[in-house]
């Protein structure tokens, strides 16, 4: 309503900059006609337009093909701001700081798990904490939390929750060196103390999958993926710790930078001016929460290895349960990108968007420097998920980013009216041979496959634009959630 888009070329749509309205850049939506229709159905386009008001925004605010409305800034949104003269916005990172996914490989074939799904899903559900207030795999003191916030997966390695290869196959080797644990609120640390190694509720899940398709043989070989292989996908974030941190900083920013925030069309975009104390503090705190989330996913992966050892009666090393990669999809990072022919340091906000760096970027681990990083895109518990590799065009088009999922088309409230968890669960088992176990039926209804966009279409657009290239597709075998 009232937002006009013009087509730049196939899959690229632009909201032109209107300076009289206060837009500091145009906005772009990367989508097919079908996806654009769905994206236009909620507040995403308005939120994307609002994001162009962020001081120091570079080139254009971007919506990925899976975009849907979020808090202030769309989920599936990318916004890069000048790290020196721009701003940083907690709303453009999201409440679940470093929500993300990791994929662990195995050398098991689908026939090794077929017929044993129930046993496997029960064992996983029994051993991996899910839901609200379930506790964590590790529960420690605030001092422990501080060590986790500082060290990330290095802490996990020192405490025998990880092997060195796990660090080498995690974005940023599982540690943001800019972390400032002292800037994370005390209350957040208290909440995090008992949640290290826990999935949480709602959208978070652990899913055993099988590889159904390989699209780029050469890249799949580098990634160690073959058809029929069993893999495990883990999706969760920084739990109450990240949420509390985001909430406290949004409140402080609104208080201490009210003039700055008042210039923005939506208070939920609340941003702190680059260089201010609060911007620095938030960045340090956010980086610490990022480390916490990586440790969270690491402990869950470690526990999953033990569950597989019990169920299949072999060592995890013998089952080659190695981490393919761990990618963050709620994050802001200082990165250097070329803007108008000049290298510039930016805060790249990716909220419900995944880094998709192509071959050559120095940030990539040695294993992927020559092929591009693995990008992991979950679909739903009744549809495929994808492994992509960072595309050559991502740096010029999207500040090195692509989608993070299929993206919702239906609100949680609507989903609970349209679906009943028990029915969804039965249909998945009987029609698709997918075994789901959750703490609550409402969660299954909220996450029913029908609430999501078509992941095949999202990935097709990413591939066609050359920002993230299709490597392999997977399909769920069994799934646990909160
Ligand atoms: P978000 O981080 O935005 O909550 O979710 C990321 C994506 O995960 C969603 O857009 C959706 O496509 C996907 N997703 C949600 N639930 C499931 C699930 O149970 N299994 C799989 N494979 N993907 C899911
Ligand atoms: Mn999350
Ligand atoms: Mn997520």
pLDDT digits (tens, 9 = 90+) for 54-105: 999 999 999 999 999 999 999 999 999 999 999 999 999 999 999 999 999 9
Interval between CA 253 and ligand 1 midpoint (Å): 30
Dihedral (Cα; 2, 11, 381, 210), 10-degree rounding = -170
Residue ranges of the alpha helices (H) in 24-130?
33-39, 44-51, 110-113, 117-127
**What average pLDDT does range 111-126 have in this prediction?**
98
Which tens digit of pLDDT belongs to each residue from 268-289? 999 999 999 999 999 999 999 9
Ligand 1, pocket residues at CB < 6 Å:
66, 75, 99, 203, 205, 207, 233, 352, 378-381, 385, 404-407, 447, 452, 455, 476, 479
Backbone torsions φ then ψ of 14, nearest 5 degrees: -125, 140
User: For residues 382 and 428, is the Cβ–Cβ distance under 8 A?
Assistant: yes
By 3-state DSSP, what share of the chain in percent is helix, strand and coil, each rounded to 5?
40, 25, 35
Question: Residue 202: pLDDT band by 50, 70, 90 thresholds?
Answer: confident
pLDDT score for 134? 83
**Contact assessment for residue 76 and residue 67, using Cβ atoms and an 8 Å cutoff:** yes
Which atom in ligand 1 lies closest to the alpha carbon of residue 203? 4
Active site residue 404: yes
The SS3 of residue 92 is helix
Q: Which residues contact 472 (CB under 8 A, 6 or more apart)?
A: 211, 213, 214, 215, 220, 223, 225, 386, 387
- Whole-angstrom Cα distance, residue 271 to residue 264? 9
How do residues 208-263 score in pLDDT, each as one tens digit?
A: 999 999 999 999 999 999 999 999 999 999 999 999 999 999 999 999 999 999 99
ipTM of the prediction: 0.99
97: left (phi over 0), alpha (psi -120 to 50) or beta: beta
Nearest bound ligand to the CA of residue 377: 1
- What are the residues whose beta carbons fall under 8 Å from the beta carbon of 217, sequence distance 6 or more? none
Ligand 1: residue of 71, 379, 456 to mutate (most ligand atoms within 8 A of CB) is 379
- The predicted-structure confidence for 1-45, as pLDDT tens digits, reads as follows 579 999 999 999 999 999 999 999 999 999 999 999 999 999 999
* Cα 235 to Cα 330: distance, rounded to the nearest angstrom: 12
Instruction: State how far the Cα of 382 lies from the Cα of 427, in Å rounded to an integer.
Output: 10
With CA atoms as reference, report the closest residue to 409 among 29, 16, 36, 10: 36
Please determine, for residue 330, whether its predicted confidence score (pLDDT) is greater than 70: yes
How far apart are the CA of 101 and the centre of ligand 2, in A? Answer: 9
Please give, one letter per residue, the 3-state secondary structure of 10-34. CCEEEECCCHHHCCCCCEEEECCHH
- Provide mean pLDDT across the span 360-372: 96
Please give the pLDDT value at position 2. Answer: 78
Ligand 2 mean position to 416 CA, how many Å? 19
**C-alpha of residue 282 to centroid of ligand 3, in Å:** 20
Q: Which ligand is nearest to the CA of 97?
A: 2
Specify whether the CB–CB gap between 33 and 57 falls below 8 A.
no
In this prediction the pTM is 0.98
Taking the CA of residue 127 as centre, how many other CA atoms within 13 Å lie in the half-sphere pointing to its CB? 19
Q: Of all protein residues, whose CA lies closest to atom 23 belonging to ligand 1?
A: 380
In eight-state DSSP terms, residue 320 is T
Closest residue by Cα to atom 15, ligand 1, is: 380
Q: Give the H or E element holding residue 232.
A: strand 229-236
Q: What is the mean pLDDT of residues 322-329?
A: 98
CA end-to-end distance (rounded Å), the chain: 37
Q: In whole angstroms, what is the distance from residue 429 CA to residue 427 CA?
A: 5
For the chain, what percent of residues have pLDDT higher than 90? 98
| Rounded distance between C-alpha atoms, residue 309 and residue 44, angstroms | 44
Q: Which residues surround ligand 3, an ion (CB under 5 A)?
A: 99
Q: Which of 156, 293, 194 shows the shortest CA–CA distance to 238? A: 293
Strand order in the sheet with 61-68: 6-9, 12-15, 27-30, 61-68, 75-82, 342-351, 330-339
Residue 132 has pLDDT above 90, yes or no: no
State the DSSP H helix or E strand holding residue 172, giving kind and residue range, or none if neither.
Answer: none
- Whose alpha carbon is nearest atom 19 of ligand 1? 381
The confidence score (pLDDT) of residue 1 equals 56
How does residue 133 score in pLDDT terms, banded at 50, 70 and 90?
A: confident
**Residue 51 CB neighbour total at 10 angstroms:** 34
């Amino acid at each position: 309503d009232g937002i006009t888009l013009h087509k730049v070329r196939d899959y690229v749509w632009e909201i032109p900059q209107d300076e009289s309205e206060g837009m500091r850049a145009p906005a772009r939506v990367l989508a097919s006609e079908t996806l654009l229709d769905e994206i236009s159905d909620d507040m995403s386009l308005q939120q994307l337009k609002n994001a162009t008001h962020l001081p120091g925004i570079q080139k254009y605010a971007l919506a990925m093909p899976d975009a849907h409305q979020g808090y202030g800034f769309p989920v599936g949104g990318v916004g890069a701001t000048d790290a020196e003269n721009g701003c940083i916005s907690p709303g453009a990172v999201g409440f679940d700081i470093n929500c993300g996914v990791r994929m662990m490989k195995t050398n098991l074939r689908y026939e090794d798990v077929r017929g044993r799904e129930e046993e496997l899903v029960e064992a996983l559900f029994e051993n991996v904490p899910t839901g609200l207030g379930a506790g964590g795999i590790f529960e420690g003191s605030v001092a422990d939390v501080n060590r986790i916030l500082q060290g990330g997966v290095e802490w996990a390695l020192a405490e025998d929750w990880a092997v060195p290869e796990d660090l080498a196959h995690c974005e940023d080797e599982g540690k943001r060196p800019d972390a400032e644990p002292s800037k994370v609120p005390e209350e957040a640390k208290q909440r995090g103390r008992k949640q290290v190694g826990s999935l949480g509720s709602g959208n978070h899940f652990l899913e055993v999958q099988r590889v159904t398709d390989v699209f780029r043989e050469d890249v799949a070989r580098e990634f160690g993926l073959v058809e029929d292989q069993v893999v495990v996908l883990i999706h969760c974030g920084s739990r109450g710790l990240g949420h509390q941190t985001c909430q406290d900083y949004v409140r402080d920013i609104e208080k201490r930078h009210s003039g700055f925030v008042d210039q923005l069309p939506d208070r939920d975009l609340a941003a702190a001016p680059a260089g201010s104390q609060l911007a620095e503090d938030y960045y340090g705190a956010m980086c610490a929460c990022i480390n916490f989330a990586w440790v969270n996913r690491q402990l869950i992966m470690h526990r999953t290895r033990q569950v597989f050892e019990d169920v299949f009666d072999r060592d995890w090393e013998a089952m080659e349960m190695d981490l393919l990669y761990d990618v963050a999809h709620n994050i802001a990072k200082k990165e250097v990108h070329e803007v108008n022919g000049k290298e510039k340091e930016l805060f790249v906000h990716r909220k419900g968007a995944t880094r998709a760096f192509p071959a050559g970027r120095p940030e990539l681990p040695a294993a992927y420097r020559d092929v591009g990083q693995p990008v992991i895109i979950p679909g739903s518990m009744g549809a495929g998920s994808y492994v992509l590799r960072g595309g050559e065009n991502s740096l010029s088009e999207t500040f090195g980013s692509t989608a993070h999922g299929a993206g919702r088309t239906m609100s949680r409230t609507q989903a609970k009216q349209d679906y009943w968890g028990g029915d969804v669960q039965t249909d998945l088992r009987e029609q698709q041979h997918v075994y789901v176990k959750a703490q609550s039926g409402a969660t299954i209804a909220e996450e029913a496959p029908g609430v999501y966009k078509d992941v095949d279409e999202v990935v097709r657009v990413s591939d066609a634009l050359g920002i993230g290239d299709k490597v392999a597709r997977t399909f769920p075998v069994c799934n646990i959630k909160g």
